[in-house]
């Protein structure tokens, strides 16, 4: 039996299509089916940004639905997952295909183009910034360009062009934003009146029924991990279920004792929500992927992947967060996240279960929380070692301490020996330096392409010392104690 069509808007066109397989990428659809070849394919793995497009999707807020436009990598996004969305390709920017959009004009004027292969992707990333912010400093601009590789031009001309655009052009005059109210109504109509494709459950009840029906299934959320396996390794997981339309999995709720975060909440959304409780986490989150990956990748996907270098795992363990797992019969179990990981990329998730939410406790009075990522490149790179530290002091004695490292073992892990060494001790440089030496009793890291075992061991030690110096002695302390870091 034919599934229901995938329905969405592409630029100004209403689309109903029946993809040959659920794994037709948005990029292939644009280039091969629609012959819109302005969007380029570089790496095919979400790394280079050549395939950047803008996706408008409905986000449920207290006041109703909001249509939010964000950049994504079309090479690792599959057609069923854009059901009910508004897809914008680079062709939509120029008026009648004749006049360049102001962003394109400024990039050209500032010499931000040489071979031009990266340019459509770069323009779309600048467009994403332009749609979502009225002003931005250099750091913010760089953040929005993290996911775009340009081999020729160098970034200065592109950054200068972006500064000019933000200064000179008014968002209120942008055609896409002007028409967004109308588009929101079109999308709401698809959502309310049209049947969903069989592999795209509309809500939790349909998800549970679908899981019950299928013996072997694969849950897909942001597809930033799975998309890479499909494209690079040609691994096609069986019976995909795309969960990105399920509002119940995208909530952020402030409960009495914890913040409940739906498993399909993306990194971009998470950063905005957690900032006021854990300001340190926002700086750490912008080290994950590039803006496109942060707009797609989810907290649930990061946990289920169970990578030893998954960047969200150390902070969540350090905060003693819990995981809510739900099965197809609505049975729930809530477990500490640190008990979820059994061995290398193996979790306690049962066959009929999915991750429904994460519960993050509020910060305790007097607590200090700090997160660190060491990678070969600063931007758009995975960790060699990542670490999160959570400390509660009482009259300068260590009342509670959690030291969690990724990349030091086959799963992200707490340094329990070092933690118990520090518990109850005076929090001072002398004890911290002794404790740092104890980390070798907690971990025996391995060498791989990312880092040698010696490097990992040294980094872990130094990150812990840095935590103490940075948080308790400030920048001056870091300088003064340069020797202690060696
Ligand atoms: C270019 C690039 C850069 C990246 N950079 C980083 C980085 O810096 N740090 C980092 O940690 N990761 C990084 N990643 C990896 C990836 O983005 C994250 O792991 C992301 O959180 C995965 O989430 P997702 O929703 O995209 O998962 P998906 O790809 O949709 O799914 C991943 C796995 O999780 C399962 N799954 C997803 N949701 C659920 C659920 N609710 N219940 C049960 N199972 C589920 C899927 O079945 C699948 O096995 C990067 C990836 C790319 C392509
Ligand atoms: S082609 Fe490189 S990110 Fe998509
Ligand atoms: S202009 Fe050639 S890659 Fe950017």
Tens digit of each residue's pLDDT (9 = 90 or more) over 201-238 = 999 999 999 999 998 999 999 999 999 999 999 989 99
Q: From CA 335, how far away is CA 339, in angstroms rounded? A: 7
Position 215 scores a pLDDT of: 80
Q: Which of 221, 264, 374 to mutate to test the pocket of ligand 1 (most atoms within 8 A of CB)?
A: 221
Angle at alpha carbon of residue 46, lines to 268 and 180, rounded to 5°: 50
Ligand 1 contact via 355 beta carbon (within 6 Å): yes
Report the predicted TM-score, pTM, of the whole model to 2 decimal places. Answer: 0.96
Residues lining ligand 2, judged by CB closer than 6 Å? 41-44, 46-51, 73, 75
How sure is the predictor about 287, in pLDDT bands with cuts at 50, 70 and 90? very high
Q: What φ, ψ does residue 13 adopt, rounded to 5°?
A: -105, 135
- Tokens of residue 241, six digits: 């279920």
Position 197 scores a pLDDT of: 96
Count of CB atoms situated within 10 Å of the CB of 73: 32
Position 118 scores a pLDDT of: 98
Q: Which atom of ligand 2 is nearest to the CA of 73?
A: 4
Ligand 1 contact via 382 beta carbon (within 6 Å): yes
Ligand 3 contact via 198 beta carbon (within 6 Å): no
Q: Which residue has the tokens 């270098």?
A: 309
Decide: helix, strand or coil at residue 125.
helix
pLDDT per position as a tens digit, 42-99: 999 999 999 999 999 999 998 999 999 999 999 999 999 999 999 999 999 987 778 8
- Residue 121: half-sphere exposure toward Cβ, Cα within 13 Å: 29
Q: Which atom of ligand 1 is nearest to the CA of 264?
A: 41
Q: Which atom of ligand 2 is nearest to the CA of 46?
A: 3
Does position 240 have pLDDT exceeding 80, yes or no? yes
Burial string for 400-415 (b: 16+ CB within 10 Å, else e) reads: bbbbbbbbbbebbbbb
Ligand 1 contact via 221 beta carbon (within 6 Å): yes
Q: Which atom of ligand 2 is nearest to the CA of 149?
A: 2
The residue contributing the CA closest to ligand 3 atom 4 is: 150
Closest to 325 (Cα-Cα) out of 343, 347, 308? 347
Q: From CA 334, how far away is CA 356, in angstroms rounded? A: 10
Position 96 scores a pLDDT of: 75
Position 476 scores a pLDDT of: 66
- Tokens of residue 475, six digits: 């920048």
Position 484 scores a pLDDT of: 59
Distances (CA, A) of 71 to 123, 398, 452: 11, 44, 35
Ligand 1 contact via 44 beta carbon (within 6 Å): no
CA 433 to mean position of chain CA atoms? 34
Count of CB atoms situated within 10 Å of the CB of 63: 6
The residue contributing the CA closest to ligand 1 atom 36 is: 301
Ligand 3 contact via 151 beta carbon (within 6 Å): yes
Does position 283 have pLDDT exceeding 80, yes or no? yes
Position 98 scores a pLDDT of: 80
User: Rounded to the nearest whole angstrom, what is the distance from the C-alpha of residue 121 to the centroid of ligand 2?
Assistant: 9
User: Rounded to the nearest whole angstrom, what is the distance from the C-alpha of residue 290 to the centroid of ligand 2?
Assistant: 11
Give percent of the chain with pLDDT exceeding 90.
Answer: 92
pLDDT per position as a tens digit, 390-427: 999 999 999 999 999 999 999 999 999 999 999 999 99
Indicate the fold that domain 6-92+175-247 takes in CATH: Ubiquitin-like (UB roll) (3.10.20)
Mean pLDDT to the nearest integer, 313-324: 98
Position 473 scores a pLDDT of: 84
3.40.50.360, 3.30.390.50, 3.40.50.1980, 2.30.30.700: which CATH number matches 250-485?
Answer: 3.30.390.50
Ligand 1 contact via 219 beta carbon (within 6 Å): yes
CATH class for domain 102-169?
A: mainly alpha
Closest to 211 (Cα-Cα) out of 240, 244, 191? 240
How sure is the predictor about 304, in pLDDT bands with cuts at 50, 70 and 90? very high
Domain ranges of the chain: 6-92+175-247, 102-169, 250-485
Does position 485 have pLDDT exceeding 70, yes or no? no
Position 367 scores a pLDDT of: 95
- Tokens of residue 292, six digits: 């496109």
User: Rounded to the nearest whole angstrom, what is the distance from the C-alpha of residue 258 to the centroid of ligand 1?
Assistant: 24
User: Rounded to the nearest whole angstrom, what is the distance from the C-alpha of residue 40 to the centroid of ligand 2?
Assistant: 8
Q: Which atom of ligand 2 is nearest to the CA of 75?
A: 4
Provide the angle, in degrees to the nearest 10, between the axes of the packed helices 102-109 and 155-168: 140
- Asked whether 178 and 171 are in contact (CB, 8 A), the reply is no
Closest to 313 (Cα-Cα) out of 196, 410, 197, 191? 410
The number of helices, as runs of H, and strands, as runs of E, in the chain is: 18, 18
Ligand 3 contact via 318 beta carbon (within 6 Å): no
Q: What φ, ψ does residue 116 adopt, rounded to 5°?
A: 90, -5
Q: Which atom of ligand 3 is nearest to the CA of 152?
A: 2
Ligand 3 contact via 152 beta carbon (within 6 Å): yes
Ligand 3 contact via 350 beta carbon (within 6 Å): no
Does position 297 have pLDDT exceeding 60, yes or no? yes
User: Rounded to the nearest whole angstrom, what is the distance from the C-alpha of residue 32 to the centroid of ligand 1?
Assistant: 27
Position 434 scores a pLDDT of: 96
Question: Measured in Å, how far apart are the chain's first and last C-alpha atoms?
Answer: 66
Position 95 scores a pLDDT of: 77
Q: Which atom of ligand 3 is nearest to the CA of 113?
A: 1
Q: From CA 238, how far away is CA 249, in angstroms rounded? A: 22
Q: Which of 115, 123, 161 to mutate to test the pocket of ligand 3 (most atoms within 8 A of CB)?
A: 115
Give percent of the chain with pLDDT exceeding 70.
Answer: 97
Ligand 1 contact via 301 beta carbon (within 6 Å): yes
Q: From CA 474, how far away is CA 343, in angstroms rounded? A: 38
How sure is the predictor about 480, in pLDDT bands with cuts at 50, 70 and 90? low
- Asked whether 281 and 373 are in contact (CB, 8 A), the reply is no
pLDDT per position as a tens digit, 137-176: 999 999 999 999 999 999 999 999 999 999 999 988 899 9
């Amino acid at each position: 039996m034919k599934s229901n069509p995938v329905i969405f808007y592409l630029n100004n066109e209403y689309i109903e299509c029946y993809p040959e397989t659920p794994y037709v990428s948005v990029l292939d659809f644009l280039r091969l089916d629609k012959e819109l070849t302005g969007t380029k394919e570089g790496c095919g793995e979400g790394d280079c940004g050549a395939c950047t497009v803008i996706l408008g999707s409905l986000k449920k807020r207290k006041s109703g639905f909001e249509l939010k436009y964000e950049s994504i990598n079309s090479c690792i996004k599959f057609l069923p997952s854009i059901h009910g969305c508004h897809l914008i390709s680079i062709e939509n920017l120029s008026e009648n295909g004749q006049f360049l959009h102001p962003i394109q004009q400024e990039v050209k004027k500032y010499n931000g183009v040489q071979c031009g292969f990266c340019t459509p992707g770069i323009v779309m990333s600048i467009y994403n910034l332009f749609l979502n912010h009225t002003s931005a400093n250099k750091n913010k601009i760089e953040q929005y360009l993290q996911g775009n590789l340009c081999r020729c031009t160098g970034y200065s001309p592109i950054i200068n062009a972006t500064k000019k655009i933000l200064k000179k052009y008014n968002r209120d005059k942008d055609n896409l934003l002007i028409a967004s109210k109308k588009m929101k109504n079109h999308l709401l109509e698809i959502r309310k009146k049209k049947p969903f494709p069989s592999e795209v459950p509309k809500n939790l009840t349909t998800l549970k029924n679908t899981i019950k029906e299928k013996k072997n299934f694969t849950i897909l959320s942001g597809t930033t991990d799975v998309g890479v396996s499909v494209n690079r390794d040609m691994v096609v997981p069986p019976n995909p279920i795309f969960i990105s339309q399920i509002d119940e999995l995208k909530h952020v709720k402030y409960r009495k004792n914890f913040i409940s975060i739906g498993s399909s909440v993306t990194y971009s959304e998470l950063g905005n929500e957690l900032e006021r409780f854990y300001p340190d986490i926002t700086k750490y989150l912008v080290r994950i992927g590039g803006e496109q990956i942060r707009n797609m990748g989810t907290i649930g996907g990061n946990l289920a992947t169970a990578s030893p270098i998954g960047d969200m795992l150390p902070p969540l363990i350090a905060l003693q967060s819990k995981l809510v797992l739900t099965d197809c019969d609505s049975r729930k179990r809530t477990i500490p996240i640190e008990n979820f990981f059994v061995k290398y990329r193996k979790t306690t998730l049962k066959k009929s279960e999915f991750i429904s939410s994460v519960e993050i406790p509020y910060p305790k009075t007097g607590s200090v929380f700090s997160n660190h990522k060491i990678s070969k490149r600063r931007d758009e790179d995975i960790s060699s070692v990542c670490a999160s530290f959570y400390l509660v002091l009482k009259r300068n004695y260590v009342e509670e301490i959690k030291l969690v490292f990724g990349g030091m073992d086959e799963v992200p892990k707490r340094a329990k020996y070092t933690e118990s060494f520090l518990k109850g001790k005076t929090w001072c440089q002398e004890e911290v330096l002794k404790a740092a030496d104890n980390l070798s009793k907690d971990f025996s890291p391995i060498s791989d392409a990312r880092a040698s075992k010696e490097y990992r061991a040294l980094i872990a030690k130094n990150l812990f010392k840095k935590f103490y110096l940075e948080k308790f002695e400030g920048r001056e302390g870091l300088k003064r104690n340069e020797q202690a870091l060696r």
